Homo-oligomer: A and B are copies of this chain.
Amino acid sequence: MPKKCNFIEKLREAGLRPTKQRLNMCEVLFNREKTFHFTINDLVKMISEKMNQKISLATVYNTVHAFEKKGYLKEISIDSHKSYFDTNTSVHHHFFDEETNELIDCDENDIDPVNIKKNITGKKINSVEVLIKVASDNQNQK
C-alpha cells in the first residue's frame, strides 16, 4: 500500500487525525481511478467487504460529514428520499437514470455553460448545476 502515506497527509492537511477507520475509508473512497457516487448504505457495505473489519455506523456518518466539511466529499441531492455523496467535489452536472437510480457525471464538454441573464439582486451565485433526468428510450416498441 504505497498510497497510505498520501492519505495520512490528506487527513493531516485537513486537521483530521489519521485513525485506522479514517484510513480505511480513504482507501475505499479515494484509492481508485475515477470518482464515484454513493449512499451511506453503499459505503458501509463497501467498507465491511473490502476491509475485513467492523466499523461503527456512527463513525461512517461522522467521517463522511468530516470529509464533506473539509471538501473531500460533496453531498448531492437528486432524490429527496436518498442522500448521495460524490467523491467528485467540483461543481458539475449530472444525468440521473430514473429507472436504475444511477447517477452519472456529465462530461464537462457535453453541455454548454448555462447562461443566467438575470440573477437575484443582492445575491452572488455560488454554484450552477444541471440535473438531467433520463430513462430508456422505448419509442421503437410502439
CA distance A114 to B128 in the complex (A): 12
B134–A124 contact, CB under 8 A? yes
A133/B124 contact (C-beta < 8 A), A80-B83, A118-B107 known: no
* Binary B-proximity of A107-132 (CB < 8 A = 1, otherwise 0): 10111101111111011111111111
| Complexed CA–CA distance, A111 and B18 (Å) | 45
Residues on B with beta carbons closer than 8 Å to the beta carbon of A118: 107, 109-110
Which residues from B are CB-within-8-Å of A115? 111-112
Contacts of A76 in B (CB 8 A): 80
Which residue of B97, B125, B131, B135 is within 8 Å of A129 (Cβ)? B131
A77 in the interface, Cβ–Cβ < 8 Å?
yes
Q: Are A134 and B130 in contact (CB under 8 A)?
A: no
Question: Which A residues are within 8 Å of any B CB, using their own CB?
Answer: 75-84, 95, 97-98, 104, 107, 109-112, 114-120, 122-137, 139
Given contacts A95-B123, A110-B116, 17 further A-B contacts (CB under 8 A): A77-B78, A80-B80, A80-B82, A80-B83, A80-B84, A111-B114, A116-B132, A119-B132, A122-B136, A124-B139, A125-B133, A128-B131, A128-B132, A128-B133, A129-B130, A129-B133, A130-B130
> Ordered nearest first, which 6 A-B pairs have the shortest CB separation?
A110-B118, A123-B134, A112-B115, A124-B137, A77-B80, A80-B83
